[in-house]
Amino acid sequence: MPCIVMCGFPCSGKSTRTKEIKQYLEEHCNKSVTVISDHSIGVDKNLVYADSKKEKETRGTLKSAIQRHVNKEDVVILDSLNYIKGFRYELYCITKACQTPQCTVFCDSNKDTVSSWNQERAPEERYTQEILDALVMRFEPPNSNQRWDSPLFTVQSGDTLSGQQIVDALLNRKPPPPNMATQNQPLSSTNFLYELDKITQDAVSVLMAAQKTSIPGDEISIPGAKEKITVLRPLTLGELQRHRRQFIVYTKMHPVSDTAMLCNMFVQYLNKGLR
């Protein structure tokens, strides 16, 4: 689900902008839009933001909600402070793993303005002045040079938010490619690790035994492999076991569906590594 991360001081207009974006996407793009916010998970902001432990738990709840709703079709908007750059980076990793785009909308207002707007709220919706001041002081503004904040849309009070620019950023842009840190590894068969261990160990045993009657330059056949191992020098058991462990680590990260290929792959790996 393409993700929009709202960001800004408390009472800076994030929820108002969220409604505008949601309406635009539903009316002009026929998209289903899910809004996740402090209010939607039942947060008492004055209690949560006064306690670092509760605040951390709340961020975990918001992140879990994003993970549940993320997909490649619909849109999710996270309407919260999102004032910590490390948390925005975690959200970026989630959307990158799902191969879906993300953008940041920064509601840029100064301290005096948000303080005034806070006082205009109903008493039960207000931040205490102490909490508001503390959140403003701790705020880490987004930076368009950081990949997790980009593309960044900055809007101030009175500005018209361009819905089409957000649509272009979310729906007409390729998502970032996944990397090893975010890509789920493919599942292997239940006996894959057993076969991998057995085949490589048998190959090492055959190679050690064959060296007793061979001379440098001979080609040694390994049962199950189409290719042969060319031995140019005496090989020790420790050296072969080291290459075997490296091959196992690599192959566990890139498993193959046909275990019959493992023996030949190991022979190819040894031929390259033992040169």
Do 84 and 166 belong together in one domain?
yes
- Write the CATH number for 23: 3.40.50.300
| pLDDT value of residue 55 | 95
Instruction: Quote the tokens at residue 55.
Output: 């605040």
Indicate yes or no: pTM above 0.75.
no
Q: How many independent structural domains does the chain possess?
A: 2
Residue that finishes a domain, picked among 138, 171, 204: 171
Per-residue model confidence as pLDDT tens digits over 224-239 = 888 898 888 888 898 8
pLDDT (average), residues 151-167: 91
- What is the phi/psi pair of residue 78, to 5°? -95, 100
The reply to whether 186 falls in a domain is: no
Per-residue model confidence as pLDDT tens digits over 50-97 = 999 999 999 999 999 999 898 777 899 999 999 999 999 999 988 988
Is residue 98 scored above 70 in pLDDT?
A: yes
Do 156 and 206 belong together in one domain?
no
Question: Is beta strand 228-230 parallel, antiparallel or unpaired with respect to 219-221?
Answer: antiparallel
| pLDDT value of residue 108 | 95
The reply to whether 259 falls in a domain is: yes
The reply to whether 182 falls in a domain is: no
| pLDDT value of residue 177 | 67
* Full domain range(s) for residue 205: 192-273
Residue 136: HSE in the Cβ half-sphere, 13 Å Cα cutoff: 19
| pLDDT value of residue 189 | 53
Confidence of residue 166 (pLDDT cuts 50, 70, 90): very high
Q: Is 202 exposed, middle or buried (0-12, 13-18, 19+ CB in 10 A)?
A: middle
Confidence of residue 113 (pLDDT cuts 50, 70, 90): very high
Do 17 and 130 belong together in one domain?
yes
pLDDT (average), residues 256-264: 85
Do 146 and 75 belong together in one domain?
yes
Helices (H) and strands (E) in the chain, counts: 10, 7
| pLDDT value of residue 77 | 97
Residue that finishes a domain, picked among 116, 141, 171: 171
Strands lying side by side in the sheet with 75-79: 33-37, 75-79, 3-8, 102-107, 152-155
